Structure 1
């Protein structure tokens, strides 16, 4: 079995333990995001399901790769370390490929979401799925309309209604052109700012995860490459350095003197 520098092996093992912890943290963040953004059974927020699946997958893959690297270093298994190195190269490229465009698109995210949601107005004339989503948002988030209660025109649903006696300061009285109820108390808060907050939160988490994993992948590439290099070059014969004759110091002149015959 090839001998790898004990200090390098220890550093690489600690790195993989930390790498596995990062994978667990990513899974925990995905779970937390799923709980915090749990609206309409998981379909209330734009791109929520895809983002959560990506986080779960990245966290699980990170933990598997970390275990592979730790095993390869402990057993000094070159095949496992080569697979680990290839995964690090691919992973760093993928994380940078995902992170850089996400950072570039982040300032435009609010405008894009607003355009998409304004295209759904008026809500009372939207499709059944859109109405169902809006009702669920209003029930869960205690808000009314995406940008205003006027998004429902004259058909404000019951999920917008607010009891001013129980929720003081969160209700407003609006003129409602109904025959039986000319005025209605609805939530002051609108839904779009809340949705935007959660979408930006999920986006920030994914950007942070992408660049953190890219940095860790670069470190993993360097460490695994060093270990593979040591394993490959360990059995090479040691080359003894000899000083060329041209640089050899000649003997002192007094060594050339000798006693003449007869003395």
Structure 2
């Protein structure tokens, strides 16, 4: 019976696992998620510097969702700033300095919020993420309040009756505003020309036959006056504007809510990566 003799091992062969590539080495002092690339002078001269590649602490999908949500604030802020820059000068005069300054503060604030969120996401710093989360909570509450206020104004505007509006004519400021509105929208009075009493102002004078009516003989003022009242015209403009504003505020409240949730998840992942600290 033949015996098969096993050939002796090659003198240069080894029984252990081959060493890792000379350009790649795991550092024992680093986290398993960190790869440390090294080189020596005996290898290719293209490797001039040590490269340190660190995997992120936050899930990539969560980061993408956070960036998309945060971009809403940045896009809206930039769009508003461009609109304010290109707005005609008379718009700022009509709105007043306080309202105009408020629009600028709101626009720049939205842009700064977006920048803060992007910085927190890129740096993965717990302090920045906490600050952004707190800011999102405040924005969510403020936007909800503003949305409710817009909804309340819209409902009040829809429920206004002539009897509730006529007492406002005793206010000089209301009369001053109404005079400007009458010339701009070609209307007379809040609910009718009778709101002016016995004397109809010159701003009710009508020069176009299709929107004119004769002034009653027992009243003083222009012979031809606008036949349309101002309130229905203004209401048709204000109700859609309030509806859009309400939708914008509630939309930002929902966006801030999701940004807050994403921020809290990111904070949890950073803490877990750092061993529960921070």
Q: TM-score, normalised by structure 1?
A: 0.69
The answer for the alignment partner of 1:153 in structure 2 is 197
1:77 aligns with 2:130: no
Out of 155, 162, 168, the residue aligned to residue 120 of structure 1 is 168
Out of 173, 177, 188, the residue aligned to residue 129 of structure 1 is 173
- Which of the pair is proportionally richer in helix? 1
Distance 1:102 1:136, change over 3 A: closer
Q: Give 1:27 deviation, angstroms.
A: 6.0
1:216 aligns with 2:259: no
The answer for the alignment partner of 1:20 in structure 2 is 74
2:179–2:203 Cα contact (<8 Å) kept: yes
1:162–1:171 Cα contact (<8 Å) kept: yes
In the alignment, the residues of structure 2 paired with residue 97 and residue 178 of structure 1 have an alpha-carbon distance, to the nearest angstrom, of 46
The answer for the alignment partner of 1:110 in structure 2 is 158
Q: Give 1:65 deviation, angstroms.
A: 1.2
In the alignment, the residues of structure 1 paired with residue 66 and residue 235 of structure 2 have an alpha-carbon distance, to the nearest angstrom, of 41
* Structure 1 gaps, min length 5: 44-48, 238-263
In the alignment, the residues of structure 2 paired with residue 60 and residue 114 of structure 1 have an alpha-carbon distance, to the nearest angstrom, of 41
**Pairing 1:155-174 to 2, within 5 Å after superposition:** 155-163=199-207, 167-174=208-215
1:66 aligns with 2:121: no
**Pairing 1:1-263 to 2, within 5 Å after superposition:** 3-25=57-79, 41-42=94-95, 56-100=104-148, 102-103=150-151, 106-112=154-160, 117-121=165-169, 126=170, 128-163=172-207, 167-177=208-218, 184-236=223-275
The answer for the alignment partner of 1:46 in structure 2 is none
Residue 214 of structure 2: SS of its match in structure 1? strand
1:55–1:206 Cα contact (<8 Å) kept: no
Residue 143 of structure 1: SS of its match in structure 2? coil
Q: CA RMSD in A?
A: 3.5
* Structure 2 gaps, min length 5: 1-53
Q: TM-score, normalised by structure 2?
A: 0.65
